Amino acid sequence: MIRQYELVERVRAYDPDVDENLLNRAYVFSMKAHGKQRRASGDPYFSHPLEVAGILTRLQLDGATIVTALLHDTIEDTVATYEQIEELFGTEIAKLVDGVTKLSRIEMKSDASHQAENFRKFLLAMSNDIRVLLVKLADRLHNMRTLHHIKNLEKRRRIALETMEIYAPLAARIGMHEVKEELEDLAFAQLYPEARESIMARLDFLHREGGGADLKQRVINQIKDVLADHDIRAEVTGREKTPYSIWRKMERRNIAFEQLSDIVAFRVIVDDLETCYRVLGIVHGKWQAVPGQFDDYISTPKRNGYQSLHTAVIGPERQRIEIQIRTREMHRVAELGVAAHWRYKEGAETVDGSQYKWLQDLLEILDHASSPEEFLEHTKLAMYQDQVFCFTPKGELIDLPKGATPVDFAYAVHTQIGDTCVGAKVNGKSVPLRTKLENGDQVEILRSKAQTPSPAWESFVVTGKARSAIRRFIRQQQRREYMELGREILERAFSKEGREFTEKAVRNGLAKLKLSEPEQLYVELGQGHLSEKQVMEAIFPGKKLKGDYTKAIAIPRDRNRPRKAGDHAIPIRGLTPGMAVHLAECCHPLPGDRIVGILLPGKGVIVHTIDCEALEAFMDAPERWIDLSWYADNDQPDYFVGRLEVVVLNEVGALAKLAEVIARDLGNINNLKITERDVEFFRLVVDVEVHDVKHLTSIIAALRATPVITSVERLRG
């Protein structure tokens, strides 16, 4: 455990003018406040805030941030109060501590709403002062380093998953590369221990058999010699990729460990910008460049401020190597990210997070999300992304995630531009809105005041901001439709009773139904959450109703929906009583899929998955769209049809094995069709009766693990 004088000396080593008295008082206050509290490891609890402070001293952060680290758990875990912290240490530190404090005493459970709500509050605090995030990341890093002391395996996995999904991407977004890598690798060890052990074993073998360290040093020496021949002084280092980054690359490219050729990345650090490009020219002149493997992040920096030249060459000893070239200042920012701007000698260049556009995008998503869970989903979309750089016609740079479309581009420029987008030109050519943008594309958005967001856009946009805005519009539009539908239903009910429909009469039933406005009642009725009979009984209590208000939903048997027992209604929420409903044959929706209904005159409601391509035909008919969802508590013994495309080896017993695996997972083959045959394989379309998406996913996983089956994909048509 770091001693009091050692901590002070660490800070004084890089900031001789630090307020030592403040540091000493914070050290003593935190130690006394935590008293005899113990961590899962058995260590005194005070060792945790002390280690968090130690991590931040290595980043050479300002005194206020170090004091915040010492105090960050006092409000939550001890009797200390905000007022007490403010009185003893000042308003600045009190606000920082309050921002870092876990804002709910409820431990993060599997319930996503708790996680989402806590993260929402944390994001707001972070937007006021980015140092809140620096302390929180150091806090999470130390907790991950000691996670193995927690005996509950499920709790460890939950914390590791949250680290992988939230905190590591946040560290990446503010450029704290080393923190991000360590968080990912620690989480990887908990989530996929066997995969990590396998990669570690292969790395050890590589070191023993391939001369690992010796080979790396020989490559470094050759690069240095080549640069010295051109009178360039440079620091050259080699760094091995982490097990997680290796595993992720294997997964992303679907390649084996043996096919990786850039496990070690070499870094060339020089004094100035001009020399970076000189080094690039020398490297490409000496060794053959690998096509398509060059990125210039100096002229187009990443959104977290990262700058460097990246290239890959067939280098010394005929090894394919990755080389990064940057100045010392670029290297400092690359390693420390935003923390580089909080080092003592630069002072607080800016206190709030307003200069971080990605953070402002998250705050906009926060304003428009309908629930904490939706906000968390869009936040993850916004944080997990490789980048492409595109330009407006005026030359403004817009950075987007890989796979982004013109619609994502439009929303990135401004929400209103996205809402009114009717078309796009990329490099002067008109393109479909679902076109994927490439690096360097110039994008012009065509707009119309009469245009509104299309529900079909949600199936191809990749940014959280775009998806959030589209969903917001759909919710508003659907509310209006439900309101109109509910009003029509109620007017018809009044007519059945021979009564005049008036808003005054409707208001008579609001109190009993626990609603405040007639509009709410219409929406609830339109969505099917209230029945006509319930509403009429509330409006006319004690009166005998003359009309027929049968609540049962008569739904014809659909040939795509085989039954094993009984004749039940399809368990879909959002249907109006009496509507005929059919499951679309183009996408075969299953319980668990996100679904939408299309109203077709004479046919009723056709239920599609939200990403079904057939929905594009209804882009210009928003009045036909109905918001639907599956009842979560449905326990009916119904089976639904999921469609798979399976490729099996052309050998004896292959089809029997296919049927055996499906039957073992309690699925039933409803139909089977051979679409392609070859001397080596068969391609089949297989309709399988399953309970829901989870059941189908389980069958797909089992099939993929079967040796005679080479591929399995769910078909949407």
pLDDT above 70: residue 394: yes
Listed residue (17, 240, 52, 264) closest to 139, CA to CA: 52
The DSSP 8-state label assigned to residue 642 in this structure reads: E
- pLDDT at residue 357, as a whole number: 55
The beta strands (E) that lie in 157-261 are given as 235-240
pLDDT above 50: residue 351: no
- The answer on 337 and 220 residing in a single domain is yes
pLDDT in tens, 170-182: 787 777 888 999 9
| Interior/surface letters 163-181, b for 16+ CB within 10 angstroms, e for the rest | bbbbbbbbbbbbbbbebbb
- Domain final residue, candidates 636, 652, 681: 636
- The answer on 649 and 610 residing in a single domain is no
Q: Is 107 a catalytic residue?
A: no
Is there a domain that residue 558 lies in? yes
Taking the CA atoms of residue 48, residue 109, residue 165 and residue 44 in that order, the dihedral angle to the nearest 10 degrees is: 10
- pLDDT at residue 69, as a whole number: 93
Listed residue (420, 453, 380) closest to 625, CA to CA: 453
688, 644 contact by CB (below 8 A): yes
- The answer on 517 and 573 residing in a single domain is no
- pLDDT at residue 104, as a whole number: 32
**Which tokens go with 40?**
């899962």
Highest mean pLDDT among 113-122, 165-174, 689-698: 689-698
**164 band by pLDDT with thresholds 50, 70 and 90:** confident
Of the residues 19, 76, 92, 373, which is catalytic? 76
Amino acid at 546: K
Residue 681: which CATH number?
A: 3.30.70.260
**Which tokens go with 257?**
């460990």
> 54: which residues sit within 8 A by CB, 6+ positions away?
2, 7, 10
Amino acid at 384: Y
- The answer on 114 and 39 residing in a single domain is yes
**213 band by pLDDT with thresholds 50, 70 and 90:** low
Instruction: Kindly give the residue spans of alpha helices, DSSP state H, lying in 396-531.
Output: 406-413, 415-419, 464-496, 503-507, 518-527
Mean pLDDT of the region 3-28: 91
pLDDT above 90: residue 51: yes
Task: Give the count of domains, the chain.
Answer: 5
Amino acid at 522: Y
Is there a domain that residue 237 lies in? yes
Average pLDDT across the chain, whole number: 80
- Domain final residue, candidates 323, 342, 361: 342
- pLDDT at residue 652, as a whole number: 86
pLDDT above 50: residue 552: no
Are β-strands 264-270 and 320-327 bridged in parallel, bridged antiparallel, or unpaired?
A: parallel
Put residue 706 in one of left, alpha, beta given phi > 0 → left and psi -120 to 50 → alpha. beta
The DSSP 8-state label assigned to residue 242 in this structure reads: P
Mean pLDDT of the region 497-511: 86
Which of these ranges, 348-357, 516-525, 702-711, has the smallest mean pLDDT?
348-357
- The answer on 609 and 674 residing in a single domain is no
- Domain final residue, candidates 317, 342, 367: 342
Query: 611 vs 12, 437, 456, 481, 574, CA distance in Å?
Result: 58, 20, 8, 22, 19
Place of tokens 């750089």: 389
Which of these ranges, 339-353, 368-382, 600-614, has the smallest mean pLDDT?
339-353
Highest mean pLDDT among 5-9, 615-619, 692-696: 5-9
Residue 96: which CATH number?
A: 1.10.3210.10
7, 55 contact by CB (below 8 A): no
At 325, phi and psi to the nearest 5?
A: -125, 125
The number of residues in the chain equals: 717
Taking the mean position of all CA atoms in its chain, how far away is CA 159?
16
Q: Is 323 helix (H, G, I), strand (E, B) or coil?
A: strand
Is there a domain that residue 690 lies in? yes
- The answer on 629 and 519 residing in a single domain is no
Is there a domain that residue 393 lies in? no
**Calpha distance 443→604 (Å, rounded):** 41
At 40, phi and psi to the nearest 5?
A: -60, -30
Which of these ranges, 128-137, 283-292, 309-318, 347-356, has the smallest mean pLDDT?
347-356
Q: Is 330 helix (H, G, I), strand (E, B) or coil?
A: helix
Domain of 511, in residue numbers: 472-539
Q: Is 284 helix (H, G, I), strand (E, B) or coil?
A: helix
Q: Is 408 a catalytic residue?
A: no
Of the residues 19, 20, 43, 77, which is catalytic? 77
Q: Is the pTM of this model over 0.75?
A: no
**Calpha distance 105→41 (Å, rounded):** 21
